[in-house]
């Protein structure tokens, strides 16, 4: 069984006047099964860095005169995902032969960052990500997979693939379209195969 990094805690004070801390925890890569039809995955991370004015090389006279304080940076983030599996027979028979769903996916995540400089001025930034997707068997043969993602508050991404079983392997057709704000959109299509001879 391969080793997996499930997180940990680290504190670094090797540089005088600098205190860096990091904590993270995550589920195993394959997720955590809940019964026979659900699988949960996720991660949480938190980090902070605090630096004294002295460590930045600011003279003590200036620190005292302007009443400067420590610079602080903090970041927190989390991601949660859930996958539901549909066993054979979960849908009516007439659907089984046309479009039989095998799984549905949903995910959500958020990031928050804050910064306080030596004068006490504060800045806060936040972002979020989310996505939905699913997989189904079409007419008892090809497997169709679709995914819609919002990697941040502004961008959108659509992905899809069709995997066709063949005598010696699988042939897959795939494509994606990214709608980006403030920069050019992106598209890609391709074909890949996995065969045994």
- What is the residue range of 149's domain? 15-195
The position carrying tokens 């958020």 is: 110
> Which of 13-17, 39-43, 126-130, 169-173 comes out lowest in average pLDDT?
169-173
Tens of pLDDT, residues 73-86: 999 999 999 999 98
Position 2 in a domain: no
Cα–Cα distances in angstroms (integers) from residue 107 to residues 1, 116, 129, 136, in the given order? 27, 31, 8, 19
pTM of the model: 0.80
Q: pLDDT class for 3, splitting at 50, 70, 90?
A: low
8 lies in a domain?
no
Task: Let me know if residue 3 belongs to a domain.
Answer: no
In a domain, 105, yes or no: yes
pLDDT digits (tens, 9 = 90+) for 114-129: 999 999 999 999 999 9
Query: What does the pLDDT average to over 100-108?
Result: 95
Question: Sorting pLDDT into bands at 50, 70 and 90, what band is 2?
Answer: low
Task: Give domain status of residue 88, yes or no.
Answer: yes
Range 78-96 average pLDDT? 86
**Does 162 reside within a domain?**
yes
Better-scored residue on pLDDT, 8 or 3? 8
Domain assignment present for 6: no
Does residue 4 lie within any of the structural domains?
A: no
Predicted confidence (pLDDT) at residue 1 exceeds the cutoff of 70: no
Q: What is the pLDDT of residue 93?
A: 77
Distance CA 89, CA 95 (A): 10
Rounded distance, CA 69 to CA 65, Å?
Answer: 11
Q: How many domains does the chain have?
A: 1
Residue 134's closest CA among 180, 66, 79, 82? 82
- pLDDT for the residue numbered 150: 96
| Start-end of H helices in the chain | 60-66, 93-96
pLDDT beyond 90 at 92: no
């Amino acid at each position: 069984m391969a080793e997996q990094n499930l997180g940990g805690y680290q504190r670094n004070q090797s540089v005088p006047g600098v205190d860096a801390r990091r904590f993270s925890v995550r589920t195993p890569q394959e997720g955590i099964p809940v019964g026979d039809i659900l699988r949960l995955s996720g991660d949480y991370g938190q980090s902070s860095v605090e630096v004294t004015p002295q460590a930045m090389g600011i003279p003590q006279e200036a620190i005292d005169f302007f009443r400067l304080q420590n610079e602080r940076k903090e970041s927190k983030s989390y991601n949660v995902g859930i996958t539901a599996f549909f066993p054979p027979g979960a849908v009516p028979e007439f659907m089984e032969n046309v479009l039989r769903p095998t799984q549905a996916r949903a995910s959500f995540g958020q990031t928050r960052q804050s910064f306080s400089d030596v004068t006490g001025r504060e800045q806060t930034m936040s972002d979020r990500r989310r996505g939905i997707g699913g997989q189904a068997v079409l007419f008892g043969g090809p497997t169709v997979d679709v995914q819609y993602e919002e990697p941040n508050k502004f961008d959108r991404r659509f992905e899809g693939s069709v995997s066709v079983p063949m005598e010696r392997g699988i042939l897959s057709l795939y494509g994606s379209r990214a709608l980006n704000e403030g920069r050019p959109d992106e598209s890609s299509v391709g074909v890949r195969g996995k065969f045994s001879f």
